[in-house]
A and B are shown apart, each in its own frame.
Chain A
Amino acid sequence: GAGVSQSPSNKVTEKGKDVELRCDPISGHTALYWYRQSLGQGLEFLIYFQGNSAPDKSGLPSDRFSAERTGGSVSTLTIQRTQQEDSAVYLCASSRQGGSHGYTFGSGTRLTVV
Protein backbone atom coordinates (compact mmCIF):
# COMPACT_ATOMS: atom_id res chain seq x y z
CA GLY A 1 0.00 0.00 0.00
CA ALA A 2 0.93 3.62 -0.24
CA GLY A 3 0.78 4.43 3.45
CA VAL A 4 2.09 3.17 6.77
CA SER A 5 0.16 0.10 7.79
CA GLN A 6 -0.35 -0.92 11.40
CA SER A 7 -1.95 -4.06 12.72
CA PRO A 8 -4.05 -4.89 14.54
CA SER A 9 -6.12 -1.71 14.60
CA ASN A 10 -7.60 -2.69 17.94
CA LYS A 11 -6.33 -5.09 20.58
CA VAL A 12 -7.91 -6.01 23.90
CA THR A 13 -5.73 -8.12 26.16
CA GLU A 14 -5.74 -9.35 29.72
CA LYS A 15 -3.34 -7.91 32.23
CA GLY A 16 -0.14 -9.93 32.34
CA LYS A 17 -0.32 -11.18 28.76
CA ASP A 18 2.22 -10.30 26.05
CA VAL A 19 1.21 -8.39 22.91
CA GLU A 20 2.87 -7.72 19.57
CA LEU A 21 2.08 -4.69 17.45
CA ARG A 22 3.15 -4.53 13.84
CA CYS A 23 4.17 -1.62 11.63
CA ASP A 24 4.73 -1.84 7.89
CA PRO A 25 6.37 1.43 6.76
CA ILE A 26 6.36 3.02 3.34
CA SER A 27 8.78 1.29 1.00
CA GLY A 28 12.06 3.16 0.82
CA HIS A 29 11.58 5.01 4.11
CA THR A 30 14.68 4.36 6.15
CA ALA A 31 13.48 5.95 9.39
CA LEU A 32 10.78 4.37 11.54
CA TYR A 33 9.36 5.70 14.79
CA TRP A 34 7.09 4.27 17.46
CA TYR A 35 5.00 6.59 19.64
CA ARG A 36 2.35 6.16 22.28
CA GLN A 37 -0.66 8.43 22.64
CA SER A 38 -2.63 8.15 25.85
CA LEU A 39 -6.04 9.81 25.92
CA GLY A 40 -5.73 13.41 27.03
CA GLN A 41 -1.95 13.36 26.99
CA GLY A 42 0.71 14.34 24.51
CA LEU A 43 2.49 12.02 22.17
CA GLU A 44 5.19 9.99 23.86
CA PHE A 45 8.25 8.93 21.89
CA LEU A 46 9.20 5.27 22.34
CA ILE A 47 11.87 4.16 19.86
CA TYR A 48 13.49 5.26 16.59
CA PHE A 49 15.13 3.14 13.88
CA GLN A 50 17.31 4.72 11.19
CA GLY A 51 18.68 2.44 8.51
CA ASN A 52 21.19 -0.07 9.87
CA SER A 53 22.16 2.09 12.85
CA ALA A 54 21.51 0.96 16.40
CA PRO A 55 18.00 2.07 17.39
CA ASP A 56 17.38 4.93 19.79
CA LYS A 57 15.55 3.19 22.63
CA SER A 58 15.63 6.13 24.99
CA GLY A 59 11.86 6.49 25.07
CA LEU A 60 10.93 2.95 26.05
CA PRO A 61 9.16 3.27 29.43
CA SER A 62 10.34 -0.03 30.91
CA ASP A 63 12.16 -3.26 30.10
CA ARG A 64 8.79 -4.83 29.32
CA PHE A 65 8.88 -2.91 26.05
CA SER A 66 11.05 -3.94 23.10
CA ALA A 67 11.02 -3.43 19.36
CA GLU A 68 12.66 -4.96 16.34
CA ARG A 69 12.93 -3.95 12.74
CA THR A 70 13.65 -6.82 10.39
CA GLY A 71 15.45 -6.23 7.11
CA GLY A 72 15.06 -2.48 7.47
CA SER A 73 11.36 -2.73 6.82
CA VAL A 74 8.64 -4.18 9.06
CA SER A 75 8.85 -3.40 12.77
CA THR A 76 7.30 -5.19 15.72
CA LEU A 77 6.72 -3.55 19.10
CA THR A 78 6.40 -6.13 21.87
CA ILE A 79 4.97 -5.43 25.31
CA GLN A 80 5.49 -8.19 27.85
CA ARG A 81 3.34 -8.72 30.95
CA THR A 82 0.99 -5.91 29.97
CA GLN A 83 -0.32 -3.54 32.64
CA GLN A 84 -3.41 -1.35 32.59
CA GLU A 85 -1.29 1.77 32.23
CA ASP A 86 -0.07 0.38 28.88
CA SER A 87 -3.53 1.10 27.43
CA ALA A 88 -3.04 3.71 24.70
CA VAL A 89 -2.95 4.22 20.97
CA TYR A 90 0.41 3.09 19.61
CA LEU A 91 1.45 5.03 16.54
CA CYS A 92 4.10 4.19 13.99
CA ALA A 93 5.58 6.71 11.56
CA SER A 94 8.15 6.49 8.81
CA SER A 95 10.14 8.99 6.82
CA ARG A 96 12.93 9.18 4.33
CA GLN A 97 16.31 9.75 5.90
CA GLY A 98 16.27 12.90 8.00
CA GLY A 99 12.55 13.44 7.52
CA SER A 100 13.16 16.19 4.97
CA HIS A 101 10.27 14.91 2.86
CA GLY A 102 7.83 14.71 5.72
CA TYR A 103 6.62 11.99 7.99
CA THR A 104 3.80 9.57 7.36
CA PHE A 105 1.92 8.21 10.33
CA GLY A 106 -0.02 4.99 10.48
CA SER A 107 -3.54 4.96 11.87
CA GLY A 108 -2.38 3.39 15.09
CA THR A 109 -3.18 0.36 17.21
CA ARG A 110 -5.56 0.95 20.08
CA LEU A 111 -4.43 -1.28 22.94
CA THR A 112 -6.76 -1.87 25.86
CA VAL A 113 -5.49 -3.86 28.83
CA VAL A 114 -8.27 -5.19 31.04
Chain B
Amino acid sequence: DQQVKQNSPSLSVQEGRISILNCDYTNSMFDYFLWYKKYPAEGPTFLISISSIKDKNEDGRFTVFLNKSAKHLSLHIVPSQPGDSAVYFCAAIWNMDSNYQLIWGAGTKLIIKP
Protein backbone atom coordinates (compact mmCIF):
# COMPACT_ATOMS: atom_id res chain seq x y z
CA ASP B 1 0.00 0.00 0.00
CA GLN B 2 1.69 3.16 -1.20
CA GLN B 3 1.23 6.03 1.21
CA VAL B 4 2.91 8.52 -1.08
CA LYS B 5 1.99 8.33 -4.75
CA GLN B 6 3.44 10.03 -7.77
CA ASN B 7 1.12 8.83 -10.48
CA SER B 8 3.01 10.25 -13.44
CA PRO B 9 6.19 8.29 -14.16
CA SER B 10 7.31 10.96 -16.61
CA LEU B 11 6.50 14.50 -17.75
CA SER B 12 7.74 16.45 -20.75
CA VAL B 13 7.69 20.27 -20.72
CA GLN B 14 8.91 22.94 -23.12
CA GLU B 15 11.80 25.10 -21.92
CA GLY B 16 10.52 28.33 -20.43
CA ARG B 17 7.10 26.93 -19.55
CA ILE B 18 5.84 25.85 -16.14
CA SER B 19 6.49 22.30 -14.89
CA ILE B 20 3.96 20.93 -12.41
CA LEU B 21 4.81 17.75 -10.55
CA ASN B 22 2.10 16.13 -8.47
CA CYS B 23 2.09 13.97 -5.37
CA ASP B 24 -0.79 12.41 -3.44
CA TYR B 25 -0.69 10.89 0.01
CA THR B 26 -3.02 8.87 2.16
CA ASN B 27 -1.86 9.45 5.73
CA SER B 28 -3.18 12.61 7.38
CA MET B 29 -0.56 12.21 10.13
CA PHE B 30 2.29 13.26 7.85
CA ASP B 31 3.63 16.51 9.21
CA TYR B 32 6.31 17.51 6.72
CA PHE B 33 6.79 17.05 3.00
CA LEU B 34 9.91 17.27 0.90
CA TRP B 35 10.84 17.31 -2.75
CA TYR B 36 14.12 15.83 -3.94
CA LYS B 37 15.78 15.99 -7.34
CA LYS B 38 17.91 13.19 -8.71
CA TYR B 39 20.25 13.14 -11.69
CA PRO B 40 21.26 9.79 -13.23
CA ALA B 41 23.90 7.87 -11.24
CA GLU B 42 23.70 10.40 -8.39
CA GLY B 43 21.83 10.40 -5.12
CA PRO B 44 18.76 12.60 -4.64
CA THR B 45 19.43 16.13 -3.47
CA PHE B 46 17.05 18.14 -1.34
CA LEU B 47 15.07 20.77 -3.22
CA ILE B 48 12.30 22.29 -1.13
CA SER B 49 10.05 21.36 1.78
CA ILE B 50 6.76 22.37 3.34
CA SER B 51 5.32 21.96 6.78
CA SER B 52 1.81 20.56 7.08
CA ILE B 53 0.70 23.80 8.76
CA LYS B 54 1.43 25.80 5.61
CA ASP B 55 -0.12 25.74 2.17
CA LYS B 56 2.69 27.28 0.15
CA ASN B 57 6.45 27.58 0.22
CA GLU B 58 8.45 29.42 -2.41
CA ASP B 59 12.17 29.35 -3.19
CA GLY B 60 13.24 31.06 -6.39
CA ARG B 61 11.82 29.21 -9.38
CA PHE B 62 10.42 26.47 -7.15
CA THR B 63 7.10 26.62 -5.30
CA VAL B 64 5.45 23.80 -3.40
CA PHE B 65 1.71 23.89 -2.74
CA LEU B 66 -0.03 21.75 -0.15
CA ASN B 67 -3.75 20.99 -0.15
CA LYS B 68 -4.38 19.10 3.06
CA SER B 69 -8.08 18.49 2.47
CA ALA B 70 -7.23 16.77 -0.82
CA LYS B 71 -4.04 15.18 0.56
CA HIS B 72 -2.22 16.54 -2.43
CA LEU B 73 0.93 18.52 -2.99
CA SER B 74 2.52 19.86 -6.11
CA LEU B 75 5.87 21.28 -7.13
CA HIS B 76 5.85 24.14 -9.63
CA ILE B 77 8.99 25.07 -11.53
CA VAL B 78 8.79 28.26 -13.52
CA PRO B 79 10.37 28.97 -15.89
CA SER B 80 11.60 25.44 -16.66
CA GLN B 81 15.23 25.14 -17.69
CA PRO B 82 17.15 22.28 -19.37
CA GLY B 83 19.07 21.64 -16.15
CA ASP B 84 15.78 20.83 -14.45
CA SER B 85 15.61 17.55 -16.37
CA ALA B 86 15.86 14.94 -13.63
CA VAL B 87 13.79 12.58 -11.54
CA TYR B 88 11.78 14.33 -8.82
CA PHE B 89 10.81 12.52 -5.63
CA CYS B 90 8.10 13.51 -3.23
CA ALA B 91 8.62 12.34 0.36
CA ALA B 92 6.69 12.63 3.60
CA ILE B 93 7.91 12.66 7.16
CA TRP B 94 5.94 11.00 9.91
CA ASN B 95 6.88 11.36 13.54
CA MET B 96 5.08 8.75 15.59
CA ASP B 97 6.14 8.20 19.18
CA SER B 98 9.55 9.66 18.32
CA ASN B 99 9.86 7.11 15.52
CA TYR B 100 10.85 9.22 12.58
CA GLN B 101 9.85 7.75 9.22
CA LEU B 102 10.54 9.03 5.77
CA ILE B 103 8.20 7.66 3.12
CA TRP B 104 8.96 8.12 -0.54
CA GLY B 105 7.04 8.33 -3.77
CA ALA B 106 8.31 6.42 -6.80
CA GLY B 107 9.48 9.54 -8.61
CA THR B 108 8.53 11.45 -11.75
CA LYS B 109 11.02 11.88 -14.57
CA LEU B 110 10.92 15.46 -15.86
CA ILE B 111 12.20 16.13 -19.35
CA ILE B 112 12.67 19.74 -20.42
CA LYS B 113 12.58 20.11 -24.19
CA PRO B 114 14.63 22.92 -25.77
Contact = CB atoms under 8 A, between A and B. Distances in A.
B41 interface: yes
A102 interface: yes
Interface string B74-114: 00000000000001010000000001111110110100000
A61 to B, nearest CB: 12
Contacts of A101: 9
A25 interface: no
Interface size class of A (residues with CB under 8 A): 20 to 34
B41 A91 contact: no
A98 B100 CA distance: 30
B107 A102 contact: yes
A40 to B, nearest CB: 10
Given A35-B44, A43-B43, A99 B107 contact: yes
Contacts of B42: 45
A91 B106 CA distance: 14
B43 A102 contact: no
Interface of A: 10, 33, 35, 37, 39, 42-46, 48, 56, 59, 89, 91, 93, 98-105, 107-108, 110
18 contacts: A42-B45, A42-B46, A43-B43, A44-B43, A56-B41, A59-B43, A91-B104, A99-B40, A99-B87, A99-B107, A102-B6, A102-B107, A103-B89, A103-B104, A103-B106, A105-B104, A107-B101, A107-B103
